[in-house]
Structure 1
Amino acid sequence: MTNYESSYKESSGTQTFLFRIAMWWRIGYGFFRLIFGFILLNVVGTPISDIFYKIASHELSQDPNDILIQTLTPIVNNFPITITYFVAIYFLFWGILDITLSILLLKHKMWAFPLTIVLISGFVVYEVYRFTHTHSIVLLGVIVIDAIIALLIYRERKSLLG
């Protein structure tokens, strides 16, 4: 075996390992989305400010001058959004899709590779659009993670095809 073949097998092994970690990450994230979606179904029609106060009430009873609560209160008070079925269904749908596609990718169902890459790429385009408006560092991190996962999926597909 030549040095090139040896380093290719090492690289391929590392790549497959990273691909599997990425798919398990997506499965875990998908379950998080499902749980969050089911929670949101229970509070449809409730203003976000009501949910915030319910969650923060214990902290407020212990320390009414809590800096985090005091900072978030004006923001939440001016947040006119109520939880809708759309938001809950959105999380449920994408949770199921993440879990299903990740399992299919782990089983090397070849048709799932391009579909997943297209879906992730679409989200990355939308996330970049949102980033241009929000300049959110968290969103930038999500963009980087999604791009890396799409690249890992692409490379895994390429290595499976030979």
Structure 2
Amino acid sequence: MRTNQPGTTLLDRTFRVSLILKGLDGVLELVGGILLLVITPQQIGDLVRFLTQHELAQDPNDFVANTLVHLSSNLSVSASLFGAIYLLLHGVVKIVLVWAVLKDKLWAYPWMIAFLLVFILYQSYRIVVAFSWGLVLLTAFDIFIVWITGREYRLHRARNQDPSPHANQQT
């Protein structure tokens, strides 16, 4: 990647930071998927009730705390397994693609874009079914990553096609 070179722009640095954030998100998804495999839905419900008991004692009508308790009490083994598999697959693919793009592997750019577009479609469906500001923000971030990855891919390809002797030099 062209970071720390004289021609590096704010957008180039933003691209790198955004990718690192996506990679960290992938690591968190991987950890979450593993936790969902080893922690039972009952244990999750117990933990949520423990963590929200103080808030609910102060305000029994607290929307967030009540929603968390309701969601965790309705968590089934199959939903927990689906969540674990989803998080594990999503996390691993994201980590591999982020690593490959950060290493300037040209093949990874279109895969990253395609992968994110699939999840943008799924997230958009989820927004329509059950609106969530968090999901809206995540989807907006993913759209930004797709745009900036496409931009970086075009620049990367143009550098590789430039016949000048310094065009393919990378740090």
Q: Is the TM value for this pair above 0.5?
A: yes
Once the two structures are TM-superposed, the CA of residue 85 in structure 1 deviates from its matched residue by: 2.9
User: Is residue 57 of structure 1 aligned with residue 50 of structure 2?
Assistant: yes
Residue matched to 2:66: 71
Aligned residues: 149
Q: CA-to-partner distance for each residue in 1:124-145, whole Å, 9 max, x for gaps? A: 1111122122222211111100
Q: Which amino acid aligns with 1:92?
A: L
Q: How is 1:131-142 mapped onto 2 (pairs within 5 angstroms)?
A: 131-142=127-138
Query: Counterpart of 1:39?
Result: 35
Relative to structure 2, which stretch is displaced further, 87-96 or 24-33? 87-96
Aligned to 1:17: 13
Which stretch shows the higher mean deviation, 72-81 or 24-33?
72-81
Aligned AA for 2:47?
Answer: K
Identity of aligned residues (%): 22
Over 3 Å counting, the alpha-carbon distance change for 1:23 and 1:120 in structure 2 is same
Instruction: Tell me if structure 2 keeps the 8 A contact 1:31–1:95.
Output: yes
1:161 aligns with 2:161: no
Q: 1:78 to 1:64 in 2, by over 3 A?
A: closer
Between the aligned partners of 2:14 and 2:139, the Cα distance in structure 1 is 18
The answer to which structure, 1 or 2, has the higher relative contact order (CA under 8 A, 6+ apart) is: 1
**What amino acid maps onto 2:129 in structure 1?**
H
Residue 74 of structure 2 aligns with an amino acid whose one-letter code is F
How far apart, in 2, do the equivalents of 1:80 and 1:137 lie? Answer: 22
Matched, 1:122 2:122: no
The two structures have a TM-score, normalised by structure 1, of 0.78
Q: Could you tell me which residue of structure 1 aligns to residue 82 of structure 2?
A: 86
Structure 1 consecutive aligned stretches of length 4 or more whose deviation exceeds 6 Å? none
CA distance in 2, matches of 1:95, 1:135: 23
Structure 2 residue runs without a partner (length 5+): 1-5, 159-171
Correspondence for 2:147: 151
Q: Which moved more, 1:146-155 or 1:83-92?
A: 83-92
Conserved 8 A contact 2:33-2:87: yes
The 1-side partners of 2:39 and 2:143 are apart by 33
Name the structure where helix makes up a greater proportion of residues.
1
**8 Å Cα contact 1:15-1:156 kept in structure 2:** no
* Contact 2:127–2:135 (CA under 8 A) maintained in structure 1: yes
